[in-house]
Chain A
Amino acid sequence: NAGVTQTPKFQVLKTGQSMTLQCAQDMNHEYMSWYRQDPGMGLRLIHYSVGAGITDQGEVPNGYNVSRSTTEDFPLRLLSAAPSQTSVYFCASSSFGGVGTQYFGPGTRLTVL
């Protein structure tokens, strides 16, 4: 049972470059979300989706785009990376329309130079 998977595990970008962080889940969960984790800040919600074709902004959405074309996948796009986006990114999913427990992926550590 794979659960929530994320790729890549590590990434280094230069300022202005773009990239996509991949997230997939095999639990048929409706709700998926992206968080960033910074020292002393806790996990902060970037974007979330309550089902295929539906996305919404979280607490810190600026500089990030998402789309949800399938139930399984929820990629996070950085269009023009900035040093402030250096962080660890976690994807999570849950059933019951987001009311239930969230299960997290292993994370992607991103460094923007």
Chain B
Amino acid sequence: EDQVTQSPEALRLQEGESSSLNCSYTVSGLRGLFWYRQDPGKGPEFLFTLYSAGEEKEKERLKATLTKKESFLHITAPKPEDSATYLCAVQAPLSTGNQFYFGTGTSLTVIP
């Protein structure tokens, strides 16, 4: 059973065209939800951590929000340098072995 599902798989935006990426999860007792950016050939780069429903975090053109079943990564007026794969991960309760579960990512392309 998938713990984390990200949509869409791929997204093409014109520069300046705002949009949102979705991450839905089924883990009970969520200990944290994480957003990462991954560029080709590199390791994931940390963006945000969210711990409870209603929480929001912002960084430049990115804003992450969390509800009880999903998280959104809002991208406002994106630029070509925002092109990357965005990964979502959740941390399950300690009783399940302190596992982190990752989604398969959304590949974002921003066209000049």
Binding site for B on A (CB under 8 A): 4, 33, 35, 40-45, 48, 50, 56-59, 90, 98-107
B98/A42 in contact, CB under 8 A: no
The A-contacting residues of B in range 4-48, CB under 8 angstroms, are 4, 31-32, 34, 36, 41-46
B100/A45 in contact, CB under 8 A: yes
B97 — which chain A residues lie within 8 A by C-beta?
56-58
Chain B 78-89, CB within 8 Å of chain A: the 1/0 string?
A: 000000000101
Give CA–CA (A67, B105) in the complex, Å.
30
A59 — which chain B residues lie within 8 A by C-beta?
99
B87/A101 in contact, CB under 8 A: no
A42/B104 in contact, CB under 8 A: yes
B105 — which chain A residues lie within 8 A by C-beta?
42
Q: How large is the interface on B (under 10, 10 to 19, 20 to 34, 35 or more residues)?
A: 20 to 34
Q: Which of these, A35, A56, A107, contacts B42 with CB under 8 Å?
A: A107
Question: Contacts A58-B97, A58-B99, A59-B99 given: A99-B42 contact, CB under 8 Å?
Answer: no
14 contacts between A and B (CB under 8 A): A4-B43, A33-B100, A40-B104, A42-B4, A42-B102, A42-B104, A98-B98, A100-B49, A101-B34, A104-B43, A105-B43, A106-B43, A107-B42, A107-B43
Give CA–CA (A45, B101) in the complex, Å.
8
Closest to B6 in A: A42
Give CA–CA (A56, B41) in the complex, Å.
28
A42 — which chain B residues lie within 8 A by C-beta?
4, 87, 102-105
